[in-house]
Homo-oligomer: A and B are copies of this chain.
Amino acid sequence: MRKVFQAELHQVGEQLIEISRLVAEAMEKANQSFVNADIELAQEVIAADARIDFLQNDLDERAIEILALQGPVASDLRMIVGALRMSASLERMGDLARHVAQLARMRYPANVSPESLRPTFAELAENDIAIARKLTELLDTRNLELARDINRHNDRINELHAGIFKAIAAPDFPGNAPTAVDVSLASRYFERFADHGVSVARKVTYLVTGEWAPNGASH
């Protein structure tokens, strides 16, 4: 019985890693569709999000089944509850990658971002992709150095996000009102993606160390 239980817990952990891997891939492709105004790639990201949603639901059902049949306690219980929460954050990260792709699709064949902000968006995306990849590795290895890296990427994203809003407010902003809106929404999607990544990393850290900093990343 104990052995079956451990195998089931392991499977939940593997499924989290799989979802995280798909989320990283989604953001990579969403960014390419955003940068290159590539509508086919955007469609692909939008369609692929259903798979992430399916895997999240499946993981949640598994987790609830384990709770029902095994009645786990202590660290196993925390791990299962943590998995339920992490899967919700990862699913949301998938949604945000999809939103980036949807913006690219909506503006096709134009580019969402004006020329002058493209380097900033490139750096935003780079940091998001790094977060998603490191998250996948963190879930796999539980090497907390990766959680610290993720926080640093998020700090940089917050700076870049603030910079975008400053650029929009500047009198020389090279776009009309709809462009400003697209740019601000895109920036917010990249920033929220990172927030959820930080939130998952915090949960892993908590599962490893037992130390919890409530709500530190939800603002």
Q: Which residues of B contact A215 (CB under 8 A)?
A: 53, 57
| Choice from B53, B84, B92, B184 contacting A185 with Cβ under 8 Å | B184
Task: Write the chain B residue with the least CB distance to A165.
Answer: B181
| Choice from B81, B168, B214 contacting A181 with Cβ under 8 Å | B168
Cβ contact within 8 Å between A64 and B84: no
Give the distance to chain B from A107, nearest Cβ to Cβ, in Å: 11
Cβ contact within 8 Å between A67 and B77: yes
Give the distance to chain B from A60, nearest Cβ to Cβ, in Å: 8
Cβ contact within 8 Å between B218 and A95: yes
Q: Which residues of B contact A179 (CB under 8 A)?
A: 177
CA distance A148 to B177 in the complex (A): 36
B-contacting 9-mer, from A8-16, A21-29, A68-76, A119-127: A68-76
Counting CB contacts under 8 A, is A117 at the interface?
no
| Choice from B57, B91, B177, B218 contacting A175 with Cβ under 8 Å | B177
Cβ contact within 8 Å between A74 and B81: no
**A54-86 CB contacts (< 8 Å) to partner B:** 57, 64, 67-68, 71, 73-74, 77-78, 81, 84-85
Interface string of A186-219 (1 = CB under 8 A from B): 0010000000000000000000000000110011
| Choice from B53, B84, B180, B184 contacting A214 with Cβ under 8 Å | B53
